[in-house]
A = this chain, B = another copy of it.
């Protein structure tokens, strides 16, 4: 059987320990091509680069392993990889391992998960992996068997059309209970900007937020990773609130 062709990207940049770990794991599963940002791109969401040119720099070019970095966003990396590096759709796209959780609404801000959603839009089976630890030297070692199992399941079972996976890992505390298929918790970031004044007397603001989670469901991704489970959320990019359409139709808003 031919080995699958696997595209890897992330948002923490090609040099982050999370993607280096993921590359090591994925090379055991197939032929790997890495196209990742040249600098951290956390919080870039689904941003694309339209008004400035993109560049690719080759780092490795072995038979079963190629690596590039790119000056664009994670979504740029996916688009450029498919069109100019692979010249075809890969069999699998994996993104991460993100330094920090992408559970709940973090998926919406995350460059790592936006790359995954871009993959799904391009009809590529796509999975994002994130660890609930922002530390640069976080311990990723416990994630390897789960990553292999989830990737193999996706390759074997095929994901439904337009669906990708958001996988979040709990900390490596030796108590992991297994995988839990979840929904996205309905939490949010409450912003509290830190206001300061620069030496020239001008005000500026640092964004900082507090994650607030009023969603008490035990079927959520946040609950799972806080309770020693690996969370897997099937994700769609159809944002239509289909159940709300009949309600709005009753409004008679026509002019």
| Count of chain copies | 2
Q: Is the CB of A183 within 8 A of B255?
A: no
Q: A61 an interface residue at 8 Å Cβ cutoff?
A: no
| CB <8 Å contact, A195 and B48 | no
A204's closest neighbor in chain B, by CB?
Answer: B53
Closest to A187 in B: B121
Whether A114 contacts B45 in the complex (CB less than 8 A), given A237-B105, A254-B178, comes out as yes
- Check A121–B43 contact: CB distance below 8 A: no
22 contacts between A and B (CB under 8 A): A43-B47, A43-B49, A45-B45, A46-B108, A48-B207, A49-B207, A50-B207, A54-B204, A54-B205, A55-B205, A56-B203, A83-B192, A84-B205, A107-B239, A108-B121, A121-B188, A183-B238, A186-B238, A234-B245, A235-B240, A236-B241, A239-B239
The 7 closest A-B pairs by CB, nearest first: A45-B46, A45-B45, A53-B204, A234-B244, A236-B241, A234-B241, A153-B253
CA distance A191 to B80 in the complex (A): 8
Inter-chain contacts of A165 with B (CB < 8 A) = 248
CA distance A245 to B159 in the complex (A): 11
Instruction: List the interface of chain A (C-beta within 8 A of B).
Output: 40, 42-51, 53-56, 75-76, 79-80, 82-84, 105, 107-109, 114, 117, 121-122, 145-146, 148-150, 153, 157, 160, 162-163, 165-166, 178-179, 181-184, 186, 188-189, 191-193, 195-196, 202-207, 209, 232-242, 244-245, 247-249, 251, 253-255
